[in-house]
Amino acid sequence: MGKKLSQMSLAELWQLFPIFLTGHKDCWADWYQEEKKLLNKILPEDKIVRISHIGSTSVAGIWAKPIIDILVEAAEGSVLPEIGGCLAGNGYLLMSEEKTRLSFNKGYTEQGFAERVYHLHLRYAGDNDELYFRDYLMEHPDVAGEYERMKIRLWKKYGHDRDGYTNAKNSFVMQYTRAARQLYGDCYDRV
């Protein structure tokens, strides 16, 4: 029997779970909706402000890692680890924890990716730059195409280095998130 995920080094995890991109799949929106229904059942209704599909799988027409990114925004004053406890009992694994941000994964197995894989980002309401970036890409197909081409180039360079892949995209994401905030104002900061 092989090592459990919790016993693997970062290098071993990156080998088991490489970055790979695929053309957009219509089923991703359905997978998000199904997972959102589950989240609405298991998370405390009075503590959750908004659940959103983010990341490239939410932008029709561009290549993406086939991982559904979900942003869960919690009400101010909520205790994030308590909310996270609801996720742990429903197939989510806590992957990183900061004071105001928790990240969970679902669909990672000792044999590699499951058919459906999720990254869930639990944060306080208003910590949601991804919503601005997502909508900017949806409304600006030329920028979405540029982002897709950059990701394909980076995939080849950082296939087994998630941090390198993410860091290499950062300035592009920040540039267009700032542009989106200018364009949209504070539309996602109001709840």
Global pTM value:
0.92
- Domain range list for the chain: 20-184
Query: Cα separations (Å) of 152 from 19, 64, 69, 148, 158?
Result: 10, 9, 18, 6, 10
Residues 103, 106, 111, 114, Cα dihedral to 10°:
-140
In the three-class reduction of DSSP (H, G, I as helix; E, B as strand; rest coil), residue 31 is classed as helix
H-helix or E-strand spanning residue 133: helix 129-139
- Per-residue pLDDT tens listing for the chain (191 residues): 467 766 666 677 667 787 989 999 999 999 999 999 999 999 999 999 999 999 999 999 999 999 999 999 999 999 999 999 999 889 898 888 999 999 999 988 878 788 999 999 999 999 999 999 999 999 999 999 999 999 999 999 998 888 899 999 999 999 999 999 999 988 887 65
List the CATH code of the domain at 20-184: 3.30.460.10
